[in-house]
């Protein structure tokens, strides 16, 4: 028999932005295979996470995905859904709202700022001032313009070792700002992997004296870029139709439900979606080929492949819940197919 450390991870009930929570369950197993079938449900005190009242505080954690924990011996990361005591999805459970059987594929581009816990500023920012203006930070190399690479590289290695379909990293336009990209077949799986990747990133900062800022415009009303989480998506139709009119029909389906999308695309997104810094205005809806100033970009590669590929919704904020974002995109695309 071996002692297995299971880190149960869930989303709390805080608004407007939910937070990651986790706790460790140590169990004895013989020949543990690392499968969901070997895991049981668990409970937690929902009154401490804004998910229940003190008089009836138990909420259930139901495992939905499991990954090896590369930082622990016999350790596993267990992503869970929060349920009420009767087994129905909790109001904070965005994953349960996704209506997808795997037809939809998602690639999320997660931007974020690495913050110094002592100065409360992004890496590379001097106290009481600003670094050189934007221009030389994007995909930069060298100590003058590149800040935080050691943490970013370690995070990439952890995600890959955990079995997450990690696809890339790059420094972003602002100083101290980075991005990682994930891809998954299935909307729920895509959400699971973003949340576990965020968990690994947040936990990693504990040993560096940093923290991650997911706010979409942490530097306020300045000329520094905000952070998004661009959602690249496709289904069988988008991947195979070969028809410009079908693509335009799907894009137009997003126009009348713009408000519904913005409502789940992340808090404070109005500070980022200004029409500047490679964004469309939050008050408008647009789409175009290879246009990063549109709400939805039709990738040039999709057109070159004969209108077979994917679309990119550029509006989701860096602090958005990928479950809720994917659920809304799936619903809108299905409404016209």
| pLDDT of residue 126 exceeding 90 | yes
**For residue 1, what pLDDT is reported?**
85
Helix H or strand E segment including 10: strand 2-11
CATH number at residue 68: 3.10.20.70
**For residue 18, what pLDDT is reported?**
98
| pLDDT of residue 328 exceeding 90 | yes
- DSSP SS3 for 137: coil
Q: Note the pLDDT tens digit of each residue in 113-122.
A: 999 999 999 9
- Residue 79 and residue 162 share a domain: no
Query: CA dihedral defined by 11, 14, 16, 18, rounded to 10 degrees?
Result: -20
% of residues, the chain, pLDDT over 90: 97
pLDDT band at 56 (very low <50, low <70, confident <90, very high): confident
**Mean pLDDT for the stretch of residues 287-311:** 97
Token pair in block for residue 196: 């576990």
Query: Could you tell me if residue 99 is inside a domain?
Result: no
| pLDDT of residue 140 exceeding 90 | yes
pLDDT band at 334 (very low <50, low <70, confident <90, very high): very high
Q: Note the pLDDT tens digit of each residue in 212-268.
A: 999 999 999 889 999 999 999 999 999 999 999 999 999 999 999 999 999 999 999
Helix H or strand E segment including 167: strand 166-171
Query: Could you tell me if residue 98 is inside a domain?
Result: no
- Residue 42 and residue 115 share a domain: no
- Residue 15 and residue 140 share a domain: no
Fill in the DSSP letter of residue 224: S
- Residue 217 and residue 84 share a domain: no
| pLDDT of residue 301 exceeding 90 | yes
pLDDT band at 123 (very low <50, low <70, confident <90, very high): very high
> What whole-number distance in Å separates Cα of residue 43 and Cα of residue 65?
17
**For residue 159, what pLDDT is reported?**
98
- Residue 203 and residue 71 share a domain: no
Q: Note the pLDDT tens digit of each residue in 155-169.
A: 999 999 999 999 999
pLDDT band at 312 (very low <50, low <70, confident <90, very high): very high
Query: Could you tell me if residue 240 is inside a domain?
Result: yes
CATH number at residue 322: 3.30.590.10
Query: Could you tell me if residue 10 is inside a domain?
Result: yes
HEC states along 23-81? EEEEEEECCCCCCHHHCCCEEEEHHHCCCCECCECEEEEEEEEEEECCCCCCEEEEEEE
> What whole-number distance in Å separates Cα of residue 79 and Cα of residue 11?
9
**For residue 55, what pLDDT is reported?**
83
- Residue 121 and residue 78 share a domain: no
Query: Could you tell me if residue 204 is inside a domain?
Result: yes
pLDDT band at 45 (very low <50, low <70, confident <90, very high): very high
CA-to-CA separations, 67 to 77, 139, 325, 331, in angstroms, rounded: 5, 30, 23, 28
- Residue 173 and residue 60 share a domain: no
Token pair in block for residue 111: 């931007």
**Mean pLDDT for the stretch of residues 280-290:** 96
- Residue 157 and residue 79 share a domain: no
Domain span at 31: 2-93
Helix H or strand E segment including 7: strand 2-11
Q: Note the pLDDT tens digit of each residue in 173-207.
A: 999 999 999 999 999 999 999 999 999 999 999 99
> What whole-number distance in Å separates Cα of residue 42 and Cα of residue 59?
8
- Residue 181 and residue 42 share a domain: no
Query: Could you tell me if residue 100 is inside a domain?
Result: no
> Looking at the 3D structure of the chain, how many domains does it have?
2
The domain boundary residue, chosen from 68, 93, 118: 93
**For residue 132, what pLDDT is reported?**
96
| pLDDT of residue 54 exceeding 90 | no
| pLDDT of residue 209 exceeding 90 | yes
CA-to-CA separations, 94 to 28, 32, 49, in angstroms, rounded: 32, 30, 16
Question: Residues 326, 86, 46, 7: is their CA dihedral positive or negative?
Answer: negative
Query: Could you tell me if residue 6 is inside a domain?
Result: yes
- DSSP SS3 for 215: coil
The domain boundary residue, chosen from 93, 126, 149: 93
Query: Could you tell me if residue 286 is inside a domain?
Result: yes
* Residue that the structure tokens 């059987």 belong to: 101
- Residue 158 and residue 38 share a domain: no
| pLDDT of residue 277 exceeding 90 | no
The domain boundary residue, chosen from 93, 125, 149: 93
- Residue 234 and residue 121 share a domain: yes
pTM of the model: 0.97
> What whole-number distance in Å separates Cα of residue 111 and Cα of residue 320?
11
* Nearest-5° Cα angle at 39, 33 to 44: 145
Residue 73 burial class via C-beta count within 10 angstroms: exposed 0-12, middle 13-18, buried 19 and up: exposed
- Residue 121 and residue 89 share a domain: no
């Amino acid at each position: 028999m071996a002692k297995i450390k299971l880190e149960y991870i869930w989303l709390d009930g805080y608004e407007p932005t939910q937070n990651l929570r986790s706790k460790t369950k140590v169990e004895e197993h013989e020949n543990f295979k690392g499968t969901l079938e070997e895991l049981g449900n668990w409970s937690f005190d929902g009154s401490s996470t804004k998910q229940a009242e003190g008089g009836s505080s138990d909420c259930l954690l139901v495992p939905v995905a499991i990954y090896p924990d590369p930082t622990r011996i016999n350790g596993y990361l267990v992503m869970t859904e929060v349920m009420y005591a009767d087994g129905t999805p909790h109001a904070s459970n965005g994953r349960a709202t996704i209506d997808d059987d795997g037809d939809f594929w998602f690639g999320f581009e997660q931007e974020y700022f690495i913050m110094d816990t002592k100065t409360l500023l992004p890496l590379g920012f001097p106290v009481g001032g600003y670094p050189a203006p934007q221009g030389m930070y994007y995909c930069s190399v060298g100590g003058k313009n590149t800040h935080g690479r050691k943490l970013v590289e370690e995070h990439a290695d952890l995600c890959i070792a955990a079995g997450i379909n990690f696809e890339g990293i790059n420094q972003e336009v602002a100083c101290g700002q980075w991005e990682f990209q994930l891809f998954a077949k299935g909307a729920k799986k895509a959400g699971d992997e973003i949340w576990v990747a965020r968990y690994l990133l947040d936990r990693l900062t504990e040993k560096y004296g940093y923290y991650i800022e997911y706010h979409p415009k942490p530097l306020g009303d300045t000329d520094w870029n905000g952070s998004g989480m661009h959602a690249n998506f496709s289904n069988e139709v988008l991947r195979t139709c070969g028809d410009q009119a079908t693509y335009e029909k799907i894009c137009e389906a997003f126009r009348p439900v713009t408000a519904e999308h913005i409502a789940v695309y992340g808090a404070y997104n109005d500070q980022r979606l200004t029409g500047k810094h490679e964004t469309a205005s939050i008050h408008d809806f647009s789409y175009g080929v290879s246009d990063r100033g549109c709400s939805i970009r039709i990738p040039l590669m999709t057109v070159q492949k004969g209108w077979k590929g994917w679309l990119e919704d550029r509006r989701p904020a860096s602090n958005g819940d990928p479950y809720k974002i994917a659920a809304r995109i799936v619903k809108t695309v299905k409404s016209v197919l």
